[in-house]
């Protein structure tokens, strides 16, 4: 059933932009845009079964060693080293990022992941405390976490409002929500460009359901009870490419071309660990941060946003 009202701001009659597919060539969704808040989203939103088809086991683990290295650096660079706390990674995949956090800090780590196969791997192979399902079904206690990590997840959930409100419920008043989310207009521009060029639906290669505008993100944060503490923009060159302001890669269309393959991998299969020099992941981490621009820029592909609770701001005034 088509969506009659924008899921973010409630405005009526979203406008259709182009057709889009996910895992294969069927089913076909409409990329719609809210005429008020400019959020873009798939219409209708995929069912749980359709999403499970996209998040098959072959979706996981291709860069597990990179995630582990990133977690080790993140634990040292981004978390207070003079304190312990509860750390949650939502959409934790196989858990290698969490494993890296655990290796480099004193924080207690938890995860949430929708894939049963990925959760089984995290529990059995890495001995991690990971819940299977949506964040809401994990049923964590109120004010349980000091830090929640949500990297490239918000655009995948069917109800962003409820997701962020659940984050607020389980976060300490003085806690932090770390969020990485694509810049929606830029992230979706290649889907539209592919359709105009090829005359057929593009594949949402990353499985994104929502493509948030800046205004929509700020509304979501406010409605859920969060305040922006800091923000940065990254993926500048990729953003310029997507907007047609920088030469596009010659084979860019292959990433958006639908696949007819119906073969599904039923087990997690990891590639061999790549050999890296000591300090390699720290170097890449800080190199990436040096390329970030302070603030939220419309030319970038992705945003890094650190949120605090509005209750914390109110308490600081007394």
- Per residue in 145-198, pLDDT (tens digit) is 999 999 999 999 999 999 999 999 999 999 999 999 999 999 999 999 999 999
Comparing 6 with 311, which gets the higher pLDDT? Answer: 6
How many percent of the chain have pLDDT more than 70?
Answer: 95
Q: Is 90 exceeded by the pLDDT of residue 40? A: yes
Quote the pLDDT of residue 1.
60
Give the integer Cα–Cα distance in Å for 67 and 282.
Answer: 12
How many CA atoms lie less than 13 Å away from 305 in the CB half-sphere?
22
Helices (H) and strands (E) in the chain, counts: 11, 13
Model confidence at 259: pLDDT above 70: yes
**Quick check: 234 and 302 in contact, CB under 8 A?**
yes
**Cβ distance 240 to 246 under 8 Å?**
yes
CA dihedral over 16, 19, 21, 25, signed as positive or negative: positive
10 close to 42: Cβ distance less than 8 angstroms: no
CATH of domain 15-249+277-316: 3.40.50.150
Domain boundaries, the chain: 15-249+277-316
| pLDDT attached to residue 142 | 98
What pLDDT sits at residue 300? 97
Question: Which secondary-structure segment (H or E) carries 171?
Answer: strand 171-182
CA within 13 Å, CB half, 10: 3
Query: Which run of H or E residues covers position 89?
Result: strand 86-90
- pLDDT, tens digit, for every residue of 111-144? 999 999 999 999 999 999 999 999 999 999 999 9
Is 312's pLDDT higher than 90?
no
The answer to whether residues 175 and 309 touch, using CB atoms and an 8 Å cutoff, is yes
Residue 313 has pLDDT above 70, yes or no: no
């Amino acid at each position: 059933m088509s969506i009659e009202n924008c899921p973010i701001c409630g405005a009526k009659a979203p406008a259709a932009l182009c057709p889009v597919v996910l895992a294969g060539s069927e089913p076909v969704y409409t990329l719609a845009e809210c005429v008020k808040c400019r959020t873009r989203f798939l219409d209708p939103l995929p069912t749980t079964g359709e999403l499970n088809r996209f998040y098959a086991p072959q979706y996981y683990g291709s860069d597990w060693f990179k995630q582990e290295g990133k977690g080790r650096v993140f634990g040292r660079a981004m978390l207070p080293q003079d304190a312990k706390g509860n750390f949650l990674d939502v959409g934790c995949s196989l858990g290698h990022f969490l494993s890296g956090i655990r290796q480099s800090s004193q924080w207690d780590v938890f995860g949430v992941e929708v894939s049963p196969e990925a959760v089984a791997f995290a529990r059995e192979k890495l001995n991690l405390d990971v819940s299977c399902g949506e964040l809401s079904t994990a049923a964590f206690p109120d004010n349980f976490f000091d830090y929640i990590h949500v990297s490239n997840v918000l655009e995948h959930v069917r109800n962003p409002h409820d997701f962020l409100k659940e984050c607020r419920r389980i976060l300490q008043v003085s806690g932090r929500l770390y969020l990485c989310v694509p810049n929606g207009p830029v992230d979706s521009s290649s889907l539209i460009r592919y359709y105009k060029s090829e005359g057929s639906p593009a594949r949402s290669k990353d499985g994104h359901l929502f493509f948030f505008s800046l205004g929509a993100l700020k509304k979501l944060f406010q409605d859920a009870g969060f305040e922006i503490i800091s923000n940065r923009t990254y993926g500048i060159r990729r953003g310029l490419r997507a907007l047609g302001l920088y030469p596009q890669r010659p084979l860019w269309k292959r990433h958006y071309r639908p696949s007819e393959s119906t073969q599904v991998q039923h087990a997690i299969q990891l590639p061999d660990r790549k050999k890296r020099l000591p300090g390699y992941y720290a170097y890449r981490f800080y190199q990436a941060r040096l390329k970030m621009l302070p603030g939220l820029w419309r030319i970038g592909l992705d945003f890094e946003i650190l949120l605090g609770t509005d209750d914390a701001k109110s308490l600081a005034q007394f």
